Amino acid sequence: MKKKKLVSTIWCEGCSGCHMSFLDMDEKLVDLIKKGMTFSATPFTDLKIPPHGTDIGIIEGSVATDTQEEEVKMMRERCKIVIAIGDCAVFGGIPTMRNKYKTTEIFSRAYKQAETNHNQHLPSGEDISKLLDRVKPVNEVIKVDYYIPGCPPTPEAIYEALSKLIEDQSPELKGKLLSYE
């Protein structure tokens, strides 16, 4: 019997749409499990930290805070193969819209000028992550092995990539499976 492949995922600055697409593989997930895929830190287990020796680490979302920076570095340390999934992780995505502004301007707009915020209180405290000056795609922080762009990528594209990796082959997305829209 082939060696099992352990998969973990994390969710940084994204909308969870990519994880939804991941779950939308539906019966194809069973197919992947039959082929030897097992899941650790994923929506199935609700674990947050990937175990050491994870085979495939999937990152959704761009890197926008110091915590996320640490998280993606941890993924690189603990996973043999890292995949960036979705336009945010691959390119930076929607969160990069804020790169046009300084973080002080963003805080002021969100907490001081926001029409619904009456106490005008800036959140503070050691346990709150700090915004980075710029939102970055994952490959600006760590080395990424494979990319599945798309907003969100289709379940078919994710399946194509994982089913190739399970066979120790390099996935290459073409045609309808490659999309940035």
Name the residues that contact another protein, by CB under 8 A. Answer: 84, 87, 90-94, 96-97, 99-100, 134, 137, 139-140, 144, 147-149, 151, 172-174, 178-181
CA atoms within 13 A on the CB side of 141: 31
Minimum separation from the CB atom of position 19 to another protein (A): 17
Minimum separation from the CB atom of position 150 to another protein (A): 9
Residues 37 and 166: beta-carbon distance below 8 Å: yes
Minimum separation from the CB atom of position 44 to another protein (A): 27
The maximal CA–CA distance of the chain, rounded, in angstroms, is: 62
The Cα 104–Cα 161 span in angstroms is 40
Type of residue found at 114: A
- Smaller CB distance to another protein: residue 49 or 106? 106
- Smaller CB distance to another protein: residue 41 or 177? 177
- Smaller CB distance to another protein: residue 29 or 144? 144
Query: Angle between the 155-166 and 27-34 helix axes, to the nearest 10 degrees?
Result: 0
**H or E, element range at 56:** strand 54-60
Minimum separation from the CB atom of position 128 to another protein (A): 25
- Smaller CB distance to another protein: residue 9 or 139? 139
